Structure 1
């Protein structure tokens, strides 16, 4: 415990064990300066590439991004985490993302192009099998990457009424309901063919969403109607000021708590792009780009005025102080985590 009985803040870092990652790393977060210090790591689950923390901070959930596809629950115990049971098969392959929605863990299964719902018990443990698997269908014009559906992310909308999944293979976003453990499609929204949407982040005002596209280095601004569960694309903006020198594959997107800025990461170019929001979030203006501090930035996270970047191929997590006026990040430090894939805080 910190001074005055406050619980010390922790960061949890996922990694690819198939590429030499340690599994899940627990790190302390400095009260001032945002620095991470590794405390422990735990293996036992293959490729825990994406993590989500329960609202009470007591349970950590991880996908196992493998062909079999699974999700695991860990009890958070001080400076480490402890597996609560065997990983649960999700009924889909290659899960790349997960979130907690209405007493369930939802996983986006990239390989099989589906979304699964696994019920969570009262003690935070998982049931033995999913209650529902919603399979996507369709394809896109990219010959290699879009032969079929590839769900890459699933999360609740700000109202909590809807589950929203982003599918790279079908160039679309699906809005679903989750009732009595069953996922049902409410609406599918088409984005530009060949854009390859990967991740979505909502504006804190609740009326807009930003979709980062992997197959073209752009970000799509959408209007979100929580009452109707409807998403409408408004504009598409490049994430780079100039044409990329080589391969450029955007990955993560995060929005400032006050909604003034949006940040994206682009692999290959290895940069973080900074956008200022305008017209209440309706428009994005590219402010600039900065090096991400490593190679192949897979995910971004914001915490207490610092931007954290999980750099998969250089095997580190960098943190940057964010200028409150301009939104521009400045590298402040890094910690070594082989094959780092994501960071969450609690």
Structure 2
């Protein structure tokens, strides 16, 4: 199928009918303060054929490099990576966003945000200084308080917190690139995160992003070693252990490579890992329990520096930070492999693709 290229104007909002939230994808980016060309949080429309269309700028913001959405309310949370902030935005109109109060202080290079499924809090990971920060939320998704979690300390090596995952048992797991650690936390209201236990991964592997399989295992992509760590929870103690490390690609790591995102297909049968440098997507098969993972194919990502990707409705959307585009692939329902590119949208310095909460469009 021919690839369609659609320009994304920097500030013009395209006229459109009200867009249902289930068809909206919010986009993060780097702006000038982060060395990028973006201007804020954007909005994409996912058509019935899975291809994307640029809607316009949802909210001007400084380097909103990662986003998360509230599970109940039409609220988007964005880190300001260079500004060291996290800000809540409420939906306004068809796809606009308005800041809901001030930006709250975060740590150096705040690079990831995730929201508790029950809407009680959000967690921000800061790559620059290793901080893990919890922000409590009020009854309609506003930020009300900030708590710093205990720091990871390891002599001679800087802590580099990079992501958090809300586990299915209510706990939180975070990654630390610098200390090669997974840290598991319990939430204590009005106090923040209390450390439950830690799990060390192989030295210099660099755990970056992570996802939980429906079977309970957590799959962690390692930025430096370009692998997927499979960690499993003991049914007796609840403690996680390392079950194995597998290559994230069939061809192995190439010079200049660094892994970025990991995402699962809806049925959990395949995982997808973005590899920057050689610009590949590693496709891996995953067994029903999520404990056995095997790389099956490497596919060209279709652009330069695949920083983030989203698997949604049988499509794979890949955001390329350096070439400034999002490329969409139709996934084979049996093999899980991406086919020929089905569409391409220009997007300045994209860093995140996050679906809007599945709820009716606002009337205000």
Question: Is the structural similarity TM-score above 0.5?
Answer: yes
Match of residue 200, structure 1, among 179, 202, 210: 210
**Map of 1:177 onto structure 2:** 186
Match of residue 10, structure 1, among 11, 14, 24: 24
Match of residue 62, structure 2, among 42, 46, 50: 46
1:204 touches 1:257 (CA, 8 Å); kept in 2? no
Whole-Å separation in 1 of the counterparts to 2:249 and 2:67: 28
Q: Give the drift of 1:224.
A: 2.4
- For structure 1, the 5+ residue unaligned runs are 141-145
* Distance 1:29-1:297 versus aligned 2 partners, 3 A rule: same
**Map of 1:188 onto structure 2:** 198
**Map of 1:86 onto structure 2:** 102
* Distance 1:155-1:134 versus aligned 2 partners, 3 A rule: same
- Asked whether 1:236 is paired with 2:262, we answer no
1:271 touches 1:290 (CA, 8 Å); kept in 2? yes
**Map of 1:75 onto structure 2:** 90
Write out the 4+ residue segments of structure 1 that deviate beyond 3 Å after TM superposition.
Answer: 5-8, 225-229
Whole-Å separation in 1 of the counterparts to 2:20 and 2:123: 31
**Map of 1:319 onto structure 2:** 328
RMSD of aligned Cα (Å): 2.1
> Aligned residues, how many?
333
Q: Give the drift of 1:289.
A: 0.8
- For structure 2, the 5+ residue unaligned runs are 1-15, 357-364
Higher relative contact order (CA 8 A, sep 6+): 2
- Asked whether 1:121 is paired with 2:138, we answer yes
**Map of 1:143 onto structure 2:** none
The superposition leaves residues 39-59 of structure 1 with CA deviations (integer Å, 9 ceiling, x where unpaired) of: 121454311000111113511
The superposition leaves residues 232-265 of structure 1 with CA deviations (integer Å, 9 ceiling, x where unpaired) of: 1111111222344421101100112211111110
Whole-Å separation in 2 of the counterparts to 1:96 and 1:228: 31
**Map of 2:282 onto structure 1:** 273
- Asked whether 1:283 is paired with 2:296, we answer no
- Asked whether 1:264 is paired with 2:273, we answer yes
Q: Give the drift of 1:124.
A: 2.1
Q: Give the drift of 1:13.
A: 0.5
The superposition leaves residues 78-129 of structure 1 with CA deviations (integer Å, 9 ceiling, x where unpaired) of: 2222222221112x211111111251111011111121111222222222x5
Per the normalisation by structure 2, the TM-score is 0.86
- Asked whether 1:58 is paired with 2:74, we answer yes
